[in-house]
Amino acid sequence: MGARRGLGGALLAAVLVTGVTSGTANADAGSRQDLWQAMVALTEAGVGGVQLRIHDDQGDWTGSAGFRELSGGKVPTDGRFRAGSITKTFVSTVVLQLVDEGEVALDDPIAEYLPEYGFDQRITVRMLLQHTSGLFNYTGEVNADGSYEPGIPLAGQDYVDNQFRRYTPEELIAVSLAKPARFEPGTNWSYSNTGYIVLGQLVERVTGTPYATQVKRRILGPLGLRETVLPGDRTGIPGPHAHGYFAYRDGGDLEVADVTRINPSWASSAGEIISTTRDLDRFITALLGGRLLPADLLSEMTTPSEYNPYGLGLGLLDAGPTCGGVYFGHTGGLPGYLSFMYATADRGTRLEFSVTLGEADLEDPAVFERIQAAYGDMLTTAICDSPPANGTPLRSQLAAM
């Protein structure tokens, strides 16, 4: 979730949690001394832990920093984590495969496939994929005047009390449809998890099987992504992993909850996937390399809308000519976890990482700004091969993601 915007974003401020660590790193920095130091600096700024994988002209490198749990321990470099909205890129890939097979048309009204919901007839499959449908985001929206319009319980004690609640896609869509549309379909851009819940339902309607089954058959199996899990109602994270924490104010006191175990059904096809940096690297390499989609549909996927640098389930990050140019991928986040998966079109530079959050209070503007700056500096150091200068354009972009 981001700044109360949903499941994605650069620092994803709506997670409203972070942590404090001594900043000891768990890998030999080698030729990546600057990056290693930037990871440590991020943990010193206030997050719990970081695990990162990068491929570029220097080769392949993985490292980690920070703590595995509040009680200690090293963050594994091969650990699983909740990848949040990176799930959307998996879902969009499946939808575009169905387009290639003639089962779905991008510019068909979604109401033709799912008439029972009473969707606006002007909303198309394409609009859902690129967040231009206008559907209210069931995880909550920030209004034009800066006020917050809540969706399902995702803040403070309400979230902790509902940590193991089971949601159905129908319930999540109903939350959205009970609110007015944000704008006329196709006339603006607003990040909406609702669209990807609807797309999960579309996949099920067209194939006769759950969306998760199709992701496994079409992507995980063929690519050998054995570390990636679609958990459904299962609450744990299998295998090695760092814990994520949720800090919040309750009656003025700062409380910290371990949110490693949750029922992720509230995220479902908008953000439930658990993965590793290794599997995400294989996925983005295969996707941009044309192994999963024909060239014409990959082109559709990587073409941004006129309103936002976001295509069909892929975001575009322009790092500038000195830092690799345009990257394609997605960010993600659930309470306790932030994630990142981006690569250049030629796959020459690829970067994936997971940040786990701890016990610091992101409601404190100074804490939030410090962590946001350190996050941007780590990313810039990774893809620009050097520490960032103040005011770098990439840091400005990150602040807006």
pLDDT at res. 30: 58
Q: How many CA atoms lie within 13 A of 45 on its CB side?
A: 26
Q: Is 23 left (phi over 0), alpha (psi -120 to 50) or beta?
A: left
Would 287 be classed as within a structural domain?
yes
Would you state the structure tokens that stand for residue 318, as one six-digit string?
């322009």
Handedness of CA 269, 275, 277, 283 (dihedral sign): negative
Would you state the structure tokens that stand for residue 152, as one six-digit string?
């399902």
368 within 8 A of 362, measured Cβ to Cβ: yes
> What does each of the 401 residues of the chain score in pLDDT, given as a tens digit?
333 333 333 344 332 222 222 233 344 455 799 999 999 999 999 999 999 999 999 999 999 999 999 999 999 999 999 999 999 999 999 999 999 999 999 999 999 999 999 999 999 999 999 999 999 999 999 988 889 999 999 999 999 999 999 999 999 999 999 999 999 999 999 999 999 999 999 999 999 999 999 999 999 999 999 999 999 999 999 999 999 999 999 888 999 999 999 999 999 999 999 999 999 999 999 999 999 999 999 999 999 999 999 999 999 999 999 899 999 999 999 999 999 999 999 999 999 999 999 998 888 999 999 999 999 999 999 999 665 544 444 444 443 33
287 within 8 A of 88, measured Cβ to Cβ: no
Would 3 be classed as within a structural domain?
no
Q: Which of 292, 296, 349 is nearest to 326 (CA)?
A: 349
Q: Which of 24, 39, 32 is nearest to 60 (CA)?
A: 32
DSSP 234-262: --S--SSB---EEEEEETTEEEEEE-SS-
**177-198: buried (b, 16+ CB within 10 Å) or exposed (e) per residue?**
bebeebeebbebbbbbbbbbbb
pLDDT at res. 144: 84
pTM: 0.91
Q: Which residues contact 247 (CB under 8 A, 6 or more apart)?
A: 16, 17, 18, 19, 254, 255, 256, 257, 357, 358, 359, 360, 361, 362
Is beta strand 274-275 parallel, antiparallel or unpaired with respect to 315-318? unpaired
Would 341 be classed as within a structural domain?
yes
3-state secondary structure of 350: strand
Residues in the chain: 401
Neighbours of 367 (CB within 10 A): 17
Would 72 be classed as within a structural domain?
no
Q: Which CATH number do you get for residue 96?
A: 3.40.710.10
Q: Which of 71, 69, 50, 52 is nearest to 60 (CA)?
A: 52
Pure H helices in 101-220: 125-130, 156-161, 169-177, 193-207, 211-215
Looking at the 3D structure of the chain, how many domains does it have? Answer: 1
Would 154 be classed as within a structural domain?
yes
Structural domain boundaries enclosing 224: 13-63+79-400
Query: What are the DSSP E strand ranges found in 133-230?
Result: 141-142, 148-149
Write the CA distances from 198 to 2, 8, 398, integer angstroms: 20, 17, 28
As annotated, the active-site residues are: 85
374 within 8 A of 21, measured Cβ to Cβ: no
Pure H helices in 247-364: 268-271, 277-288, 295-302
Angle at 270 between CA 264 and CA 272, to 5 degrees: 30
pLDDT at res. 94: 98
Q: What are phi and psi of 127, to 5 degrees?
A: -65, -35
Would 71 be classed as within a structural domain?
no
Would you state the structure tokens that stand for residue 50, as one six-digit string?
């970081």
Distance CA 153, CA 134 (A): 21
Specify the DSSP element, H or E, that contains 67: strand 59-69
Would 293 be classed as within a structural domain?
yes
352 within 8 A of 249, measured Cβ to Cβ: no
Would you state the structure tokens that stand for residue 74, as one six-digit string?
């090293």
Return the residue matching tokens 């969306």. Answer: 211
Q: Which of 261, 24, 259, 234 is nearest to 154 (CA)?
A: 259
16 within 8 A of 345, measured Cβ to Cβ: no
Would 270 be classed as within a structural domain?
yes
